[in-house]
Amino acid sequence: MAVGLDEVEAAQRAPSRIAALTGVRALAALLVVGTHAAFWTGRYTPDLLGAVYARLEIGVTVFFVLSGFLLFRPWVRAAAGGGAVPATGTYLWHRARRILPAYWAVVVAVYAVYLFRDPGVTGLGWSGFARNLTLTQIYRAGDLHAGLTQMWSLAVEASFYLVLPALGAVVVSGVCRGQWRPWRMAAALLGIVAVTPLWTVFTHGDFGLPYVARLWLPGFVAWFAGGMLLALGAATVRRCNPYAAGGLALYFFALACTPLAGEATIVPADAGEAVVKSLLYLMVAVCLLAPLVIGDDGGPLGRVFASAPVVWLGEISYELFLVHLLVLELVFAALGYGQFQGSTALLFASTMAISVPLAWALHRGIGALVPDIRADQRKVTRR
């Protein structure tokens, strides 16, 4: 990588649309579906293949880093003298309008389906329903409902949406004093990255916090901050070698598949392993995305992500994320599989075959009912 000479001018140059960033959402969604299919069919085994299956959860990291990049760009542009930051009320309204209608539809559908199925023991009753509707199901144990357990990550993302205006104000107005000081901004963002290791150590200690505190925003804010650093990098760095970045992404992913990153779970029991895993995931996602947002050459992978079929799947990736677990659970039962048994490939393929049309229908239906949603999504990508 090489630092540009005119950083302010670079910050103001933005492509009208980075199609590859929509396409990379497709990869993230496929990884999430894949790791869930592997988990349900008992493929989280204590060997290399089991580790690879488990680490496909890195799709969540890609989503978080991408959100940090896309949403922080207006603050970078404002610091560089290229515009105003979004009004907080308008920004929050657009975020709510983008994620909540489809999410609410899926929550209602899942609770309706599980009126006729065994829902398990968590997320039950009106209290569980209310917490899932309001994305507060991660703040108390026992509120993750069957068919919706993947929504813990959406609850984390929603909390990032809420704090971003304050973070942006602290970084741009406080640390940078309203001036274009990229090194100060980088230092502040690295400080945010450091919150996650500290929180991880804290939540693994004997401080009286509930276990679910490991799923709160501080435990993952480093991933969003990594995307925010990419937004700064896109404004200050002229080029990124896609082959070097891709090689580093593979290297860090390989390390994440070793015992260094702990057992196959969202947050390993050992604090050190949990920190290593979180930072390795961050490096993988940053290296994957860097060539797509820095410079003009995303390399062969960037061209794949920008291809029409991949972009199309990326456009419905949010809805795919929402519906896939309910579909997977129903398909798993229909195939007659026992607990942690069955074919991962068949479960994945069957889930995708049903989930993709459902996601498309949900995307189109919500888009018709709330027509400004698509415009909001395009604006975020263009900024």
pLDDT for the residue numbered 86? 86
Q: Is the dihedral of CA 64, 315, 236, 285 positive or negative?
A: positive
Q: Is residue 243 part of a domain?
A: yes
pLDDT for the residue numbered 2? 35
Contact 276, 260 (CB under 8 A): yes
pLDDT for the residue numbered 186? 97
pLDDT of 211-247, one tens digit each? 999 999 999 999 999 999 999 999 999 899 999 999 9
pLDDT for the residue numbered 373? 62
Half-sphere exposure (Cβ direction) of 81: Cα atoms closer than 13 Å: 8
C-alpha 156/C-alpha 218 separation (Å) is 9
Residue numbers of the domain that contains 274 = 2-88+155-382
> Mean pLDDT, to the nearest integer, of 144-161?
98
Q: Is residue 121 part of a domain?
A: no
Write out the two tokens for 204. Answer: 């693994």
pLDDT for the residue numbered 374? 59
pLDDT for the residue numbered 266? 77
**Count of domains in the chain?**
1
Residue-averaged pLDDT of the chain: 91
pLDDT for the residue numbered 377? 57
Q: Is residue 117 part of a domain?
A: no
Other beta carbons within 10 Å of 177: 10
pLDDT for the residue numbered 367? 87
Q: Which residues contact 51 (CB under 8 A, 6 or more apart)?
A: 257, 258, 264
Of 41-45, 265-269, 326-330, the one with minimum mean pLDDT is: 265-269
pLDDT for the residue numbered 277? 97
pLDDT of 101-118, one tens digit each? 999 999 999 999 999 999
What burial letters (b/e) apply to 146-160, b meaning 16+ CB within 10 Å? bbbbbbbbbbbbbbb
pLDDT for the residue numbered 39? 97
C-alpha 248/C-alpha 236 separation (Å) is 21
| Residue 256 burial class via C-beta count within 10 angstroms: exposed 0-12, middle 13-18, buried 19 and up | buried
| Residue reference for tokens 């406080």 | 174
Q: Is residue 172 part of a domain?
A: yes
pLDDT for the residue numbered 7? 43
C-alpha 57/C-alpha 9 separation (Å) is 37
pLDDT for the residue numbered 8? 42
Statement: residue 288 has pLDDT above 60: yes
Q: How many helices (H) and strands (E) does the chain have?
A: 16, 2
pLDDT for the residue numbered 378? 55
C-alpha 145/C-alpha 107 separation (Å) is 9
pLDDT for the residue numbered 232? 97
pLDDT for the residue numbered 312? 97
Residues in the chain: 383
Q: Is residue 139 part of a domain?
A: no
pLDDT for the residue numbered 376? 57
pLDDT of 248-262, one tens digit each? 999 999 999 999 999
pLDDT for the residue numbered 30? 98
Statement: residue 369 has pLDDT above 90: no
> Mean pLDDT, to the nearest integer, of 194-223?
95
Q: Is residue 261 part of a domain?
A: yes
Which pLDDT band holds residue 372 (cuts at 50, 70, 90)? low
Which pLDDT band holds residue 4 (cuts at 50, 70, 90)? very low
Q: Give the 3-state secondary structure of residue 171.
A: helix
> Mean pLDDT, to the nearest integer, of 358-380?
78
pTM of this structure: 0.93
Statement: residue 82 has pLDDT above 90: no
Q: Is residue 144 part of a domain?
A: no
Statement: residue 172 has pLDDT above 90: yes
Of 43-57, 78-92, 248-262, the one with minimum mean pLDDT is: 78-92
> Mean pLDDT, to the nearest integer, of 324-345?
97
Q: Is residue 113 part of a domain?
A: no
